[in-house]
Every structure is written in C-alpha cells, then in structure tokens.
Amino acid sequence: MTDFTLANKLHLQITSLFWRSMDWLYPPRCCNCDRRGFVLCETCFAEIEPLQGALCQKCGYPVSGKGRLCEECRLAPPPFTQMLSWTSYIGPVKEAIHALKYKRNLAMGPFLAKPLVEIVKRSGWNIDLVVPIPLSRSRLRFRGYNQAALISHQLAAQLNIQHSNTAVKRVRNTSTQIELDVNKRFMNLFDAFYANPATLKKRNILIVDDVITTGATMQNCTKALLQAGAENIYCVSVARAILRHAKHHQGFASNSVLLS
Ligand SMILES: [Zn+2]
Ligand SMILES: [Zn+2]
C-alpha cells in the first residue's frame, strides 16, 4: 500500500467519523431552505442542474452550434488540457458555496466533492496529484481554512490519488476578485502563483476550485504548474459563472453580466 493510499483511507475514515459526530451534536440545516438535518436537503439538491449538452471540449463552457470548441478556446487555446464544472453558479449551489466560504459551514466541502468524483471518473483523465487553488497567506489567516482544499482533499481521497496543499502557493496577495471588473482580473492574478518543481515535474495534475468565474485563476495556476515541469493540467470546479456574453475568458467581457 502506498503512503497516499493509507493517508486517503485515514482521511476518509476520520472525516466521516468527525462529520457524523458533528451532525449528531449540532444537526445541520439546509443552506438553501433551512430544513433541519441536511447541509443541503434532497429537494434543494434536486434543483441543481449539471452542465450538460454541448460543452466546449477544452474549457467545458456551454457552446451553441456544432463547434467542438468555444470561440475563446479557438482564438486563444488555454494552457490546461481540459476543464470541467459540475453546474452553473446559481440557486442552491450558490448558497452552498456561500455557506462553505463565508459561514464556516465546513461540512459543505466534503459534500460538494461528491459530484466532482463522478465528473473526474467519467472524464478519463489520468491524474497523479490533486491540488486546490491556494489562498494567499493573509486570506488563509483571515478565513482560517481554504475552502477549495476542503473539496480537493476529499475528492483526492475518494479517487485515491495523492493530494498536496503545498505544491502550489500564492506568492503575493491579490485583491478580492469581486471588487475588480473582469478586465482587471487577469492583470491582478498575473504571476500570482509559485509551483514547486520537486513535487510537480512530469506529473499530471488536477486543480480544484469552488467557483470558476472568468477562468483567469485556473489559467494562471496552470501556467505556474507547467513552468514547474508538470505534464498535463486538468481543472475541475463545483460551479461555473455563466455569462450572457460569449467572450469571457480573456477579460474582454467588461459589458457582460454575470447571471449569478
Ligand atoms: Zn433545502
Ligand atoms: Zn472553451
């Protein structure tokens, strides 16, 4: 048994026991309808529609027509091999991510990892290492935890793949993205990651995040991993902000309106 197989088994057992005890001590409430006994109840969960139908083969964004790639990926191919998201950033899933990020609902991390397990299994990706999008040191200190890591760690354990919280780091603080318009996000994030070649060289990496808005964060993190010698980069997120305007990747979408 490899070190990470044992670590994954322990992780699954400990987190399962921990969350069962917490549910018993403090019964959770549905983040969307407040029903007792669930972090997200079955009724609210059933409202979530997975992204399906015609999706860009590269970035997983809904495409109209017969093209295999969206316009942005045709014009400027992104550096990752493929990116997929479970659903769009609206409704109950938006509430779930909000609860995970801003209301310290930590049980939501493992809960939201479940649909990603299925997505990654279906994708056929060959992955050696799972990493979360890291937070800056100051944001981590402020929040106390990285919400993407709560998802990625559980995902890696369920897929029995090695996980690392330290292979890629945020090297300088970035302003909160919500405060920036889409055009400024790429500049703000440029070179904001450092990836460790010792852990990443010649390996296939899966990057995990809670929400993808423009894709700028995933692209910049991918660039850092590739610079460190990683082979193929795959990206997955729970939710995806779907824009009315088609041109969203390269920060040209200043007039776009987020549907979320
Ligand atoms: Zn509910
Ligand atoms: Zn695309």
CA 119, chain centre distance (Å): 12
Residue 260 pLDDT: 33
Domain residues for the domain of 146 are: 3-21+52-240
pLDDT cut 90: percent of the chain above it: 65
CA of 20 to the centre of ligand 2 (A): 40
Distance separating alpha carbons of residues 126 and 83, to the nearest angstrom: 14
Closest by CA to 148, choosing from 116, 172, 171, 122, is 116
Asked whether residue 39 is assigned to any structural domain, the reply reads no
Asked whether residue 260 is assigned to any structural domain, the reply reads no
Ligand having the closest approach to the CA of 41: 1
**Beta strands 129-132; 205-212: pairing state:** parallel
CATH number at residue 208: 3.40.50.2020
CA of 247 to the centre of ligand 2 (A): 10
Ligand having the closest approach to the CA of 48: 1
Asked whether residue 174 is assigned to any structural domain, the reply reads yes
- Both tokens of 112, joined, read 């939201």
Ligand having the closest approach to the CA of 44: 1
Asked whether residue 211 is assigned to any structural domain, the reply reads yes
Q: What residue type is 235 in one-letter code?
A: C
Q: Per this entry, what is the length of the chain?
A: 260
Report the chain's mean pLDDT, rounded to a whole number: 86
CA of 210 to the centre of ligand 1 (A): 20
CA of 34 to the centre of ligand 1 (A): 6
Asked whether residue 114 is assigned to any structural domain, the reply reads yes
The residue-averaged pLDDT of 191-215 equals 92
CA of 5 to the centre of ligand 2 (A): 34
pLDDT beyond 70 at 102: yes
Task: Name the band, by pLDDT with cuts 50, 70 and 90, for residue 250.
Answer: very low
Ligand having the closest approach to the CA of 45: 1
Q: Which residues have a Cβ under 8 Å from the Cβ of 177 and sit 6 or more positions away? A: 185, 188, 213, 217
CA of 92 to the centre of ligand 1 (A): 8
Kindly report the pTM of this predicted structure: 0.85
The residue-averaged pLDDT of 16-20 equals 81
* Structural domain count, the chain: 1
Asked whether residue 98 is assigned to any structural domain, the reply reads yes
Asked whether residue 29 is assigned to any structural domain, the reply reads no
Ligand having the closest approach to the CA of 42: 1
Asked whether residue 256 is assigned to any structural domain, the reply reads no
